[in-house]
Amino acid sequence: MTQEDDATVGPLGEIDGRTFDVVIIGGGISGASSAQHLAAAGFNVLLVEKDDFASAATSRSSRLLHSGLRYLAPPKSLWDFVKKPSAFLAGIDTARKSAMVGDELMRNLPNRIRPTRLLLPIVETAAFRGWQVDLGARFLKLIGRRETPLNYVRTPHDQARNLPFIQWLREGNRLESVVGIDDHQFHWPERICIDSIMDAERMGAVVLNYTTAESIARQDDGWQVAVSRKDGSRATVSGTVLLNFTGVWTDRTNAMVPADKAPKRQIVGVKGVSVAVQLPENCEGVGIAGLNSEGDAIMCVPWGKLHYIGPTETVYEGDIDDVKPDDDDIDELIHEINRFMPGFNMDRSKILHAWAGVRPITYDPNRAKGRRMPFSVIHDLGPEGYPNMLTVTWNAIMFHQPTARRIVKEVSKRVQPSGSPKPLRYEEERDQTEASPPFMDAWPEVTRADMIRCAEKEHARDLVGILYRRTGLGWYVQIPDTKVREAAELVAPTLGWSPGDIDREVETYHAYVRKYHIIDDTNLSV
């Protein structure tokens, strides 16, 4: 074999020339959950992701498993629903699906879902009254939420003054009442994505991160995809069905297919920025939600021992490969939270870290920020001249499992599985027999053995992938330099890092958190 041939195959040699039932481009929650469900249905699946798994919008979600109550609220007044009954019906349908999926996810992911108490202040200027919210809660109870009850309470204004956050509200003097409900959170969404990826691999799917789809072309009755890695290795694979699940890169990926006319635009990218803060003890486990100056949601939600505030909502036309919180984003968020809760006196000194993401919302020429309902829209590109090619837009993480089941049905219409069905597992199974000390006393849920397992079995290639996506540690605590280096030294034997490599990995990690999370020496605790 010549040197050129060796480079062509390289580490990708095992898949070069192979044909799969389904090729998935994109390793976020849409691709991961679909790969898992397709592999369980017996399909031969290849998934490729150009960066790390769960490295884009999946890791930047609101982390909330919404009860569904918010979708029953009119934008400005009840007349909005009278004028547009279709919007009212869409809200009811989304609320119903939210209620149903809440129960399902609590069954399937009991260790990945955590309850959180959320307060909803109702003021005299709101688009709805307290009794209308009462009716919405009763409706949710009627259609679902049996296993995850709302524990709905509406407290009159004179009794609500002692609740957390209420003393900070801008319209506290116009307070009618405060609704309290039990919402739920995803215990870091990247872990759900990684679990799905690993279960897909357990059932026979081939999953490759840091592997880029360089070209896509029709071949006979299927698709041919050329993939590569940064080390220069390349391979060409074929698939009967192609799933473009690349999120904000969807339109760019569609445009890779040689054609006289590109498919219609499918997504609009909306940037959301959030910041984490430390609040008084009486706020622990409790959050609050309201509306910003443009009528979009603004929330202060508990996250471990911290709270995060956000998100911003701006159409993003910048570099989708380099999304980060900037000064304008932070200034806007400070302005909005101070408008909502001026008594909190938010400023930059209270920000512990931040993050930014771009959501792939379904494109609508009549809506600047896209069509928000329904979620999880599956697009068949066959009528546009791309047979057996599907995409998905605005797939909220809370709907990832039912969406994946819909994908299986769509794929089954186009190709028969080449293998046999297998039982899937929604949560990873860990060996509990081996005791391992916590990696950091500040967050004992993550052990030293967890770190090593990420490198050995979960395709981790760097410290960001370990400390954020696979263990979630970076989201919950500030990791001092000594522990970052310790993490690098712990996984170095598995990943083959030399002392020089360890130094570079530590510096790369610090550069990442400075740029994408605004963490530096001034807000790094020891």
Domain coverage including residue 396: 3-57+190-263+381-412
pLDDT at 525: 39
φ/ψ of residue 400, rounded to 5: -65, -35
Last residue of a domain, one of 303, 335, 363: 363
CB-CB contact of 238 with 219 (8 Å)? yes
Domains contained in the chain, number = 4
104 and 236 both lie in a single domain? no
In angstroms, rounded to a whole number, what is the distance separating the alpha carbons of residues 102 and 401? Answer: 11
List, in sequence order, every residue forming a beta bridge with 182; answer none if it has no partner: 117
121 and 247 both lie in a single domain? no
168 and 113 both lie in a single domain? yes
CB-CB contact of 401 with 299 (8 Å)? no
- Please give the mean pLDDT across all residues of the chain: 91
Looking at the domain assignment, is residue 438 inside a domain? no
Looking at the domain assignment, is residue 422 inside a domain? no
Is a pLDDT exceeding 60 seen at residue 10? no
Chain-centroid distance, C-alpha 39: 22
pTM: 0.94
Report in angstroms the alpha-carbon separations of 480 from 279, 404, 518.
21, 39, 14
Q: How confident is the model at residue 452 (pLDDT cuts 50, 70, 90)?
A: very high
- The 3-class secondary structure across 358-369, one letter per residue, is EEEEEEECCEEE
Looking at the domain assignment, is residue 473 inside a domain? yes
297 and 331 both lie in a single domain? yes
104 and 170 both lie in a single domain? yes
The mean pLDDT of 110-139, rounded to a whole number, is 88
Looking at the domain assignment, is residue 386 inside a domain? yes
Q: How confident is the model at residue 480 (pLDDT cuts 50, 70, 90)?
A: very high
The mean pLDDT of 269-296, rounded to a whole number, is 94
Looking at the domain assignment, is residue 508 inside a domain? yes
In angstroms, rounded to a whole number, what is the distance separating the alpha carbons of residues 425 and 192? Answer: 11
In angstroms, rounded to a whole number, what is the distance separating the alpha carbons of residues 271 and 332? Answer: 12
93 and 174 both lie in a single domain? yes
176 and 83 both lie in a single domain? yes
Looking at the domain assignment, is residue 85 inside a domain? yes
395: number of Cβ within 10 Å:
28
216 and 280 both lie in a single domain? no
Chain-centroid distance, C-alpha 267: 16
User: Which pLDDT tens digit goes with each residue over 235-267?
Assistant: 999 999 999 999 999 999 999 999 888 899 999
Q: What angle do CA 267, 271, 273 make, to 5 degrees?
A: 155
pLDDT at 89: 79
Q: How confident is the model at residue 163 (pLDDT cuts 50, 70, 90)?
A: very high
pLDDT at 7: 43
86 and 181 both lie in a single domain? yes
Is a pLDDT exceeding 90 seen at residue 357? yes
φ/ψ of residue 49, rounded to 5: -135, 130
φ/ψ of residue 64, rounded to 5: -100, 135
Looking at the domain assignment, is residue 270 inside a domain? yes
48 and 118 both lie in a single domain? no
Report in angstroms the alpha-carbon separations of 158 from 167, 206, 350, 407.
12, 59, 30, 50
In angstroms, rounded to a whole number, what is the distance separating the alpha carbons of residues 349 and 375? Answer: 36
155 and 172 both lie in a single domain? yes
Is a pLDDT exceeding 50 seen at residue 299? yes
First to last CA, the chain: 53
User: Tokens 């290639």 map to which residue?
Assistant: 461
The mean pLDDT of 112-138, rounded to a whole number, is 88
For residue 508 the two structure tokens come to 């790369």
In angstroms, rounded to a whole number, what is the distance separating the alpha carbons of residues 183 and 59? Answer: 20
User: Which pLDDT tens digit goes with each residue over 16-68?
Assistant: 999 999 999 999 999 999 999 999 999 999 999 999 999 999 999 888 888 88
CATH code of 272's domain = 3.30.9.10
**3 CB burial (10 A radius; 0-12, 13-18, 19+):** exposed
Last residue of a domain, one of 161, 186, 211: 186
127: left (phi over 0), alpha (psi -120 to 50) or beta: alpha
pLDDT at 1: 35
272 and 345 both lie in a single domain? yes
Last residue of a domain, one of 137, 154, 186: 186
Higher pLDDT, 93 or 73: 93
Looking at the domain assignment, is residue 418 inside a domain? no
Q: What share of the chain has pLDDT > 70, as a percent?
A: 93
Report in angstroms the alpha-carbon separations of 364 from 285, 375, 423.
37, 13, 39
